[in-house]
Amino acid sequence: MENTKFLPMSGFIRQFLISVIRFPQFALWMALLCVAMANPLEAGTSPPIHHQLHIELNPDTHAITGSDRIQLPQHHRAGSSISFVLHPQLTIDRVEFNGQSLPVPNPSSSPIPEPPSTRRVVEISLPPLDHPDQPAVLTLAYHGLIDDSPKASGGLRFVRPDDTNGHIGPNGVYLTYETFWYPTWEKTLSTFDLTISLPSDWEAITQGRQLAQTVTDGRRTTQWAITLASEALTLAANQFVVHKQEWKGIQLATYLFPEDAHLAPQYVEATIRYLQMYTDLLGPYPFTKFAVVENFFPSGLGLPSFTLLGQGVVKRGYTQPYSLGHEIVHSWFGNSVFNDFAKGNWVEGLTTYLANYYYDEATGNQEEAFNTRRRMVHEYNLYTVPDKEYPVRAFHHKETRMDNAIGYQKTALAFHMLRREMGDKAFFKGIRRIIHEGTGTYLEWNDLLQIFTKAAGRDLGWFFQQWIDRPGAPNLKIQNILVQEDPTQQDRFTMTGTILQTEPPFTVHLPVHVDLEGGQTHETIFTVDRPAQPFTLHLPAIPTHFALDPKHHLLLRLQRDQLPPMLNKWETDARRILIRPETMTKEEEQGLAALFQRLDGQPGIETIQTNDPVISEPASYLLIGSSARRLLESGSFTGCQQHLDIQPGEVSIKDQTFGGTEMAFLISCPHPRAAEHTVTFFFGWSPEAVKPVSRLLFFYGWDSYLVFRQGKVIARGMFQPVHSAREMILNSP
C-alpha cells in the first residue's frame, strides 16, 4: 500500500538563505554612479564641422579668450544666416567669413537666458557665396568669464555630479557641452584642432591625442587633435601631476593632484586589467588614449578617452572597484556607439551590467557577483514605488534614486535576464554586433531588439515588451505545497504546489532550489507564465527548504517586509525617526559631526534627542552613538535577539565576537512589531572608531550588519527578512 506522508507548510518563513558574506577589501557600492557625458540631444546625421580652436585660460580671473576658425559643411550655410550656441557671458569681438569682416552680432539681439542656463543662441547674417561649392570658413574671436562653482547636489550620498555648467577658477577648470565655451552647433558632430594655453603649472586634458607641448613665458601650450567626430568637447585642467605609459599601442595616463600622485601606478595597473578584459570581450579599444583624471568636485564622468573621477573616489583608490571599469566600458557604449537620448537610454544599464556586475562574474568572483545581483534587486525594490515607477524605455537620465534604480539597476538586470534567455554565445554575439553596427551612430532600444533578435535567431519582442516597455516586476508567491512519499518509486518524494503571480503575468524562467534531507540540493527551472502555475517535482529525499530564485538571477517585486533589514530601509521609509543622544561628550560630538551635518539638511526626518530611547512608533528608526548602544545594552530591544549580543566593550554578531576601542558597528534589525520598518544602530566603542565611518555612513546601506575597525570594514552580512514569499521551510516529518 502506498504510504503517503503530508508535510504541512510552515507559517512564515524564518530563514533566508543568504550566507554571511565577507568582503576581501573595502568596497563601496554605489559610491559613484556614473553619468556618460553625451549630448542629450537627438541624433543628427550631418557631416562633422571642423574647428581650429585656440583658447587661453586664466584660472585666477575665471577668464577665457578664444578664437575659432570653423569650416562649415555646405548644408550648414544653406540659408542667408547661421546660428550657433555660445555661453552668455562670452562677448564676440570679431567675426569674419571667408576672410571678410562682418558686423559683430549685437548682444541685445540675442536675449540672455536666465541663469543657470548657458544656452544663448547667436545668429549671424552671411554674405552670399560666389558659387555653392566654395569653402565656407567662419572665424570668431571672443572672450569672457566662466564662473559657475560646482554646487553640492545634496542627498545622503552621491547620486549625480555636483551641479555646474562649467567653471574656470583657481580650484580647477571644467568645460563641457553644457558650457558652450566654443561656438556649438547642437545635434551635430564636430572634429577639432585645439590649442590650449594655461599658466605653466597647470595641465589640461581633453579628448583626442596630444600632439605637442611647449612652455614659454610662464604659459604652457598644448596642441590636440580630435579626429573622431564627437558630439561635445570636454576639457579639464588643474595643477596635475601627469603620469604616462604605453600599453599595446594605447597611451595610458593619470592626471592626479599632487597629494594623490602616488596612486598613479595603481590606476594604470587597474586600467590595464580592465582594458585587457574588455578588449577581449568587446573588441579593439576605440581610442588612442585613456586617462584617469582627478576632478575638483564629486563626479563620475565617462568621456571619450578619459574619465573624470571626483577626488573622494580617487583617494579611495581602485579598491573602489566599479567606477573605473564602468568608465572604460563607456568607451564603447556611449562614447563610440552613441545613445539616442530622445528615445531612451540603454547605455547606462548595459554599461552597469558589463562593468559593475559582469567583471566579477567573468573573473571568478562569484560571491561578489551574487552580492551585486542581490543589491540590484534590493535597490529596485526599495527605490521604486509600484504605482509611480515607469518602464525602462522611459528612462533618459538620472535625477533621483528611482531613476537610478530603473535606468541603471533594473536595466542591468534586464540584460542579465536577456543573457540567460539567449545563452552566453548569442548574447555576446549581440553585444559585439551593437559595437560593429553602432560605432559612430546612434542606437536606441528598437535597434537593440533587432540586433539581439538576429543574434538569437528568434524574435525577442516579447522579452523587450515585458522588461523594457512594461513597468514593474513579477510578484510571486508559493501556495499549496504538498509532499507525498511513494517508496515504490526511485524518487520517493513528490512535491506539488502552485506559483502564484499578480496579473497580468510575466513570463520568466524561474530558478527553484529545494534542499533535501541529507544535505543535497535539487535545482531546476520552472517556466512560469500564468497567474497560477502548478508544478510537480520528484525528489530522492525529503525536501526541507524550498526557495524561488535564491541566487537573484531574476528581478522580482519584493515587499518591504520581504527585504532584509538594512540602513536603506530606514532611508526609504515614509516615516523616519532619528534618535540622537541628549547629552554627548565633546569627543563623541566631534566623532559624529559629519553624520549629523549630513542628516540635518535632509527633509522628512523626525528627530528625537534622548538618552533613554524606546521603539514605540510604527516607523523606521536610526539610533546614533550612545543612544544606540544604551538601547541595545538595556536588553529591551527584541528585533535582533537571535543574532546579536552586546556586553560592555564587545558585540557578538551571529557567531563572531568583536571587541576593542577601535570598533564601530552599523547594525539593522527588523522592527519588533512592524516588519516593514527597520531599526538601525550606529555606534562605536570610542569617538575615534565612529569618526571615519560617520562621513560615509550612507554608502553602507545594503548590509544588515557591518563591523568597522579604524574605519575599515572587517565583517558584514545579512539578517533574514521577517517574511518571504519566495521561500519556505518545510517541517520535518
Residues near Zn ion, by CB under 5 A: 34, 36, 348, 351
For Zn ion, give the closer residue by CB, 148 or 348: 348
C-alpha cell at 428: 555576446
* Strand 235-238 versus strand 203-206 pairing type: antiparallel
3-state class of 127 per DSSP?
coil
Distance CA 669, CA 632 (A): 11
**Cell match 562677448: residue?**
91
Minimum gap (Å) between residue 322 Cβ and Zn ion? 10
Backbone angles phi, psi at 156, to 5 degrees: -75, -20
Minimum gap (Å) between residue 401 Cβ and Zn ion? 16
Residue with smallest beta-carbon separation from Zn ion: 34
Nearest alpha-carbon partner for 349 in 419, 281, 429, 272: 419
CB 497 within 8 A of CB 478: yes
For Zn ion, give the closer residue by CB, 348 or 447: 348
Distance CA 280, CA 585 (A): 57
Nearest alpha-carbon partner for 340 in 190, 453, 416, 447: 447
For Zn ion, give the closer residue by CB, 183 or 407: 407
Report the length, in residues, of the chain. 733
For Zn ion, give the closer residue by CB, 293 or 725: 293
CB 574 within 8 A of CB 667: no
Minimum gap (Å) between residue 421 Cβ and Zn ion? 24
Minimum gap (Å) between residue 38 Cβ and Zn ion? 10
Nearest alpha-carbon partner for 239 in 296, 315, 192: 296
For Zn ion, give the closer residue by CB, 34 or 697: 34
Minimum gap (Å) between residue 472 Cβ and Zn ion? 24
Distance CA 535, CA 126 (A): 75
Q: Which residues contact 641 (CB under 8 A, 6 or more apart)?
A: none
Minimum gap (Å) between residue 393 Cβ and Zn ion? 18
Say how many C-beta atoms besides its own lie within 10 A of residue 530's C-beta.
13
Minimum gap (Å) between residue 377 Cβ and Zn ion? 20
For Zn ion, give the closer residue by CB, 403 or 727: 403
C-alpha to C-alpha distances, 730 to 449, 481, 537, 726, nearest whole angstrom = 42, 9, 15, 13
For Zn ion, give the closer residue by CB, 36 or 53: 36
* Strand 120-125 versus strand 172-175 pairing type: unpaired
Minimum gap (Å) between residue 515 Cβ and Zn ion? 39
For Zn ion, give the closer residue by CB, 33 or 277: 33
C-alpha cell at 111: 536675449
For Zn ion, give the closer residue by CB, 306 or 705: 306
For Zn ion, give the closer residue by CB, 34 or 86: 34
Distance CA 113, CA 453 (A): 46
For Zn ion, give the closer residue by CB, 351 or 404: 351
Minimum gap (Å) between residue 348 Cβ and Zn ion? 5
Nearest alpha-carbon partner for 31 in 212, 165, 160: 160
Nearest alpha-carbon partner for 579 in 603, 611, 550, 551: 611
**Cell match 558630439: residue?**
231
For Zn ion, give the closer residue by CB, 271 or 466: 271
Minimum gap (Å) between residue 443 Cβ and Zn ion? 16
Cross-strand partners of 627: none
For Zn ion, give the closer residue by CB, 36 or 376: 36
CB 34 within 8 A of CB 176: no
Minimum gap (Å) between residue 438 Cβ and Zn ion? 17
CB 147 within 8 A of CB 167: yes
Minimum gap (Å) between residue 50 Cβ and Zn ion? 29
Distance CA 581, CA 583 (A): 5
C-alpha to C-alpha distances, 180 to 65, 153, 222, 232, 308, nearest whole angstrom = 13, 22, 21, 9, 19
Q: Which residues contact 130 (CB under 8 A, 6 or more apart)?
A: none
* Strand 167-169 versus strand 663-670 pairing type: unpaired
Backbone angles phi, psi at 352, to 5 degrees: -60, -40
For Zn ion, give the closer residue by CB, 356 or 626: 356
Long-range contacts of 213-217 (CB under 8 A, 24+ apart): none
* Strand 49-58 versus strand 90-97 pairing type: unpaired
For Zn ion, give the closer residue by CB, 351 or 501: 351
CB 434 within 8 A of CB 337: yes
Minimum gap (Å) between residue 358 Cβ and Zn ion? 14
**Cell match 556649438: residue?**
184
Minimum gap (Å) between residue 362 Cβ and Zn ion? 19
Minimum gap (Å) between residue 701 Cβ and Zn ion? 20
